[in-house]
């Protein structure tokens, strides 16, 4: 096996989404499963298992055989190289897609786990993984009341064994309902939204941020949600050469002809240096409504009053009503010191103009393995929560104005969970833009 293939295998769980949903039913609380050991990668032997799994706290062992059974055991105790342990929380389980889930609790005051250097996970000597390479050893011992056929279907040939650390998750840091009904309700709310200032047909929302953050991809994602299939209207390059180079505006429409009262405005990305990226003065000119559509940005010289197409007397409808900072959450450092200084300088001018400000955190699935496994875990992820708090502190933006999303980039089919996150952010942008209109009257 090549080094690259091995590295990829180490981070790839064999569990499908359906299997994870089944396993979640084994616990009374929501948990995260962190992959510690994968036999096909680390080795089908006791030493490899103990090297990866000893002292890791509560664990769930998942075994697979060629008969299609998924089975294993849970213990709340640490694995060690030697010694027996009682654990009244331990259990064995089994599920097969046609037969559903079965759980077998340990008998009280019996040995739940045996530890032996040459064995893999050993549950009371009833179910022993890798007692002899790729084989399972099963005996009808006193610890767990289940027979071999029920647990394994009589197949003791082990095709894969994975061990996960079980991490209990606290309450979600934000409450979001992920289902198709909620998605349809959000779309209906956006389509029927009545702006406070009726003379303005659309709320104009400006996306700014570092190159490669996902501005154009977010526009494509919003269009995909309303169209019902993945689209690629905005040029999404992710680099200085292929990225957005002109000021573009995008309105959206559904397949049934309905159009939401909003417009997303795309710009060239920001950079730390002055050779590439949008000029700070151009951002302020866009917000004030002076920059015409399809204006080609000049990185060294901002737009001037005598520039062709310059809008001297911009109406309220031509101005920007909400500014969105788009940041890549997968980067170890959200903002370099230089980029943070640059953005804060721009932000100060935007604040003086009393424009509502929002933050989009993109690529959250790449930022956190828990979210990568299931996007719905974004509201449970402590890592994403810390990212939200970090950017809120850096940019002095309320946490309620920061939204994690996953853009359509690799996907070729729409996904309800992705759509709900995108729509949640979009609906709040629309509401914050409406706050701007109300404040104008005040």
The structural domain count of the chain equals 2
Answer whether residue 300 shows pLDDT above 90: no
Task: Put residue 110 in one of left, alpha, beta given phi > 0 → left and psi -120 to 50 → alpha.
Answer: beta
Residues 232 and 93 in one domain: no
The SS3 call for residue 27 is: coil
Indicate whether 173 belongs to any domain: no
Under the banding of pLDDT at 50, 70 and 90, the label for residue 341 is: very high
pLDDT at 1: 37
Indicate whether 363 belongs to any domain: yes
- The CATH number of the domain holding residue 204 is 3.40.50.300
pLDDT at 382: 85
Residues 223 and 105 in one domain: no
Residues 138 and 103 in one domain: yes
Residue predicted with more confidence, 242 or 46: 46
Indicate whether 197 belongs to any domain: yes
Find residue 137's DSSP bridge partners: 128
Residues 149 and 25 in one domain: yes
Answer whether residue 177 shows pLDDT above 90: yes
Q: Of 102, 133, 168, which closes a domain?
A: 168
Q: Of 120, 141, 168, which closes a domain?
A: 168
Which segment of 88-97, 126-135, 295-304 scores lowest on mean pLDDT? 126-135
Residues 154 and 203 in one domain: no
Residues 128 and 188 in one domain: no
Indicate whether 174 belongs to any domain: no
Report the pLDDT averaged over residues 335-340. 90
SS (H, E, C) 208-226: ECECCCCHHHHHHHHHHHH
Report the pLDDT averaged over residues 392-403. 94
Residue predicted with more confidence, 419 or 133: 419
Q: Of 118, 139, 168, which closes a domain?
A: 168
Answer whether residue 8 shows pLDDT above 50: no
pLDDT at 386: 92
Indicate whether 427 belongs to any domain: yes
pLDDT at 259: 85
Report the pLDDT averaged over residues 99-114. 90
pLDDT at 238: 54
Answer whether residue 122 shows pLDDT above 90: yes
End-to-end CA distance of the chain: 68
* Max Cα distance, the chain (Å): 89
List pLDDT tens digits, range 202-245: 999 999 999 889 999 999 999 999 999 999 988 776 555 556 78
List pLDDT tens digits, range 355-372: 999 999 999 999 988 898
Output the average pLDDT for the chain: 89
Q: Which backbone phi and psi does 119 adopt, to 5 degrees?
A: -110, 155
Q: What angle do CA 276, 322, 377 make, to 5 degrees?
A: 85
Residue predicted with more confidence, 208 or 10: 208
List pLDDT tens digits, range 304-319: 999 999 999 999 999 9
pLDDT at 9: 40
Residues 337 and 394 in one domain: yes
Q: State which residues form the domain around 39.
A: 3-168
Indicate whether 119 belongs to any domain: yes
pLDDT at 237: 63
Neighbours of 418 (CB within 10 A): 21
Answer whether residue 423 shows pLDDT above 70: yes
Sheet arrangement for strand 111-116: 82-86, 111-116, 122-123, 127-132, 135-138
Residues 291 and 200 in one domain: yes
Under the banding of pLDDT at 50, 70 and 90, the label for residue 255 is: low
Indicate whether 228 belongs to any domain: yes
d(CA 331, CA 353): 30
Residues 426 and 282 in one domain: yes
Residues 158 and 227 in one domain: no
Find residue 107's DSSP bridge partners: none
Which segment of 23-27, 35-39, 240-244, 288-292 scores lowest on mean pLDDT? 240-244
Residues 237 and 187 in one domain: yes
Report the pLDDT averaged over residues 280-301. 92
Indicate whether 175 belongs to any domain: no
Answer whether residue 98 shows pLDDT above 70: no
d(CA 107, CA 75): 13
pLDDT at 28: 83
Residues 387 and 242 in one domain: yes
| Percent of the chain whose pLDDT exceeds 90 | 64
């Amino acid at each position: 096996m090549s080094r690259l293939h091995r590295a990829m295998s180490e981070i790839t769980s064999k569990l499908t989404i359906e299997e994870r949903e089944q396993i979640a039913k084994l616990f009374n609380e929501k948990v995260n499963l962190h992959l510690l050991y994968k036999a096909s990668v680390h080795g089908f032997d006791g030493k490899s298992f103990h090297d990866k799994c000893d002292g890791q706290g509560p664990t769930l062992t998942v075994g697979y055989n060629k008969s299609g059974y998924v089975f294993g055991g849970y213990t709340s105790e640490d694995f060690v190289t030697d010694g027996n342990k009682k654990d009244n929380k331990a259990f064995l389980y089994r599920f097969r897609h046609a037969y559903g889930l079965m759980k077998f609790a340990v008998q009280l005051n019996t040995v739940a786990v045996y530890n032996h250097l040459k064995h893999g996970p050993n549950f009371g000597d009833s179910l022993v993984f890798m007692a002899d390479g790729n084989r399972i050893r099963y005996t009808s011992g006193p610890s767990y009341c289940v027979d071999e056929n029920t647990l394994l279907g009589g197949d003791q040939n082990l095709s894969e064994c994975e061990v996960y650390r079980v991490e209990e998750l606290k309450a979600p840091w934000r409450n979001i309902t992920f289902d198709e009904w909620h998605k349809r309700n959000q779309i209906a709310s956006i389509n029927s939204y009545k702006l406070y200032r009726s003379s303005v047909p659309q709320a104009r929302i400006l996306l700014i941020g570092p190159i490669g953050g996902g501005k154009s991809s977010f526009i494509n994602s919003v269009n995909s949600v309303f169209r019902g299939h993945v689209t690629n209207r905005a040029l999404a390059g992710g680099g200085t050469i292929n990225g957005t180079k002109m000021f573009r505006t995008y309105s959206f429409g559904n397949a049934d002809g309905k159009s939401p009262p909003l417009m997303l405005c795309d710009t060239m990305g920001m950079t730390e240096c002055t050779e590439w990226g949008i000029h700070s003065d151009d951002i302020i000119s866009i917000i004030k409504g002076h920059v015409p559509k399809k204006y080609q940005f000049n990185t060294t010289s901002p737009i001037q009053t005598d520039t062709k197409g310059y809008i001297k007397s911009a109406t309220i409808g031509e101005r920007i009503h909400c500014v969105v900072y788009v940041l890549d959450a997968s980067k170890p450092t959200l903002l370099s010191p230089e980029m943070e200084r640059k953005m804060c300088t721009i932000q100060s001018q935007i604040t003086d103009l009393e424009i509502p400000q929002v933050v989009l955190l993109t690529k959250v699935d790449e930022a956190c393995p828990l979210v990568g496994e299931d996007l719905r875990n974004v509201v449970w992820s402590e890592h994403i929560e810390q990212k939200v708090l970090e950017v809120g502190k850096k940019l002095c933006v309320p946490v309620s104005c920061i939204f994690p999303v996953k853009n359509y980039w690799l996907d070729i089919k729409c996904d309800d969970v992705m759509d709900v996150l995108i729509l949640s952010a979009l609906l709040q942008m629309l509401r914050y833009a409406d706050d701007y209109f109300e404040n104008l009257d005040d």
